[in-house]
C-alpha cells in the first residue's frame, strides 16, 4: 500500500514543494530551534526543540491525520539529529541512565476513533535511533478532558488533572514525550502523578500555540 501511495503521490517538501522528502534539508535548516524556561522542582529539564509554526506544524499534521506514514520516520530522524547536535551531553546522560520514554497517552476513546496516538508513533521512531526504550503502558488517561464553556480556569485544570493515572511500577528515570507543548498543562498534570523519587525530563518536538 505504501509503495503505491508513494508512486501516485511522490513525497514533496511541506516547506517548498521539492520532491524527495516531507521536509527537505534546506527547509530543515530554516526551522527555529528553541530551548525552554520551564522550571519545576520535580523536573531535571525540558527540551522543546522546534518552534510550533510553519513547516513543523505542517509536518505534525501529516502524522496526526496519518496522511503519510513515512513522515514519522523523518520527524524521528530530525529529533535525533537535534539532540545529537545541540544536546549531546543530555543525550549521553539519558542513554547512560537508561531513561525510558513515556509518550503522553490519548484517551482510549479518542485513540480508537483515530486509531493511533501520534506522540507514541513519533516516540517509537526516536527511541529506535537514540537507543532508548519506550513504554506506552505506564500512564493512562482514564477520563476525557471536558471542555466546559461555563467552567472557570480552576475547574478546567481540575478536569485535566484527574485524567491521568500511573499503572504498575514506574521506571526510575523517565522522559515524558509529546509532539507539541502549548500551555504545558497536560504534561504538568502527568508530572504531578509521578512519585518524587523519579528523575523526570520533558521532551517535545515543538513548542508554541
Site for Zn ion contains 62 (CB under 5 A): no
Site for Zn ion contains 59 (CB under 5 A): no
Q: Among residues 22, 27, 75, 82, which is the contact residue for Zn ion, using CB under 5 A?
A: 27
Looking at the Cβ atoms of 18 and 77, the one nearer to Zn ion is: 18
Among the listed ranges 22-30, 92-100, 107-115, 124-132, the one in contact with Zn ion (CB under 5 A) is 22-30
Q: Where are any strands of DSSP class E within the chain?
A: 43-47, 50-51, 100-103, 133-134, 139-141, 164-166, 173-181, 199-207
Q: Among residues 6, 9, 16, 172, which is the contact residue for Zn ion, using CB under 5 A?
A: 16
Q: Among residues 22, 24, 74, 187, which is the contact residue for Zn ion, using CB under 5 A?
A: 24
Locate 90 and state its grid cell.
543530555
Tracing cell 501529516 back to the chain, one arrives at 62
Query: CB of 172 within 8 A of CB of 143?
Result: no
Looking at the Cβ atoms of 15 and 184, the one nearer to Zn ion is: 15
Angle at 154 (CA atoms; ends 148, 158), nearest 5 degrees: 75
Compute the least distance from the CB of residue 59 to Zn ion, in Å. 11
Locate 114 and state its grid cell.
483515530
User: What does the alpha-carbon distance between residue 58 and residue 99 come to, in Å, rounded to a whole number?
Assistant: 29
Residues near Zn ion, by CB under 5 A: 13, 15-16, 18, 24, 27
Amino acid at each position: 500500500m505504501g509503495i503505491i501511495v508513494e508512486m501516485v503521490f511522490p513525497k514533496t517538501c511541506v516547506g517548498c514543494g521539492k520532491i524527495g522528502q516531507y521536509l527537505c534539508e534546506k527547509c530543515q535548516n530554516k526551522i527555529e530551534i528553541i530551548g525552554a524556561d520551564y522550571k519545576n522542582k520535580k523536573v531535571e529539564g525540558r527540551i522543546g526543540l522546534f518552534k510550533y509554526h510553519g513547516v513543523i506544524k505542517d509536518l505534525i499534521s501529516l502524522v496526526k491525520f496519518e496522511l503519510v506514514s513515512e513522515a514519522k520516520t523523518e520527524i524521528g530522524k530530525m529529533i535525533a539529529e537535534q539532540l545529537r547536535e545541540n544536546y549531546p551531553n543530555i543525550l549521553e546522560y539519558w542513554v547512560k541512565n537508561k531513561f525510558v520514554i513515556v509518550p503522553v497517552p490519548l484517551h482510549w476513546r479518542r485513540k480508537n476513533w483515530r486509531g493511533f496516538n501520534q506522540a507514541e508513533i513519533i516516540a517509537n521512531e526516536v527511541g529506535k535511533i537514540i537507543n532508548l526504550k519506550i513504554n506506552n503502558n505506564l500512564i493512562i488517561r482514564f477520563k476525557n478532558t471536558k471542555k466546559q464553556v461555563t467552567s472557570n480556569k480552576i475547574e478546567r485544570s481540575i478536569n485535566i488533572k484527574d485524567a491521568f493515572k500511573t499503572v504498575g511500577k514506574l521506571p526510575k528515570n523517565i522522559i515524558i514525550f509529546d509532539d507539541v507543548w502549548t500551555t504545558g498543562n497536560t504534561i504538568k498534570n502527568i508530572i504531578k502523578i509521578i512519585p518524587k523519587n523519579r528523575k523526570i525530563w520533558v521532551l517535545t518536538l515543538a513548542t508554541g500555540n
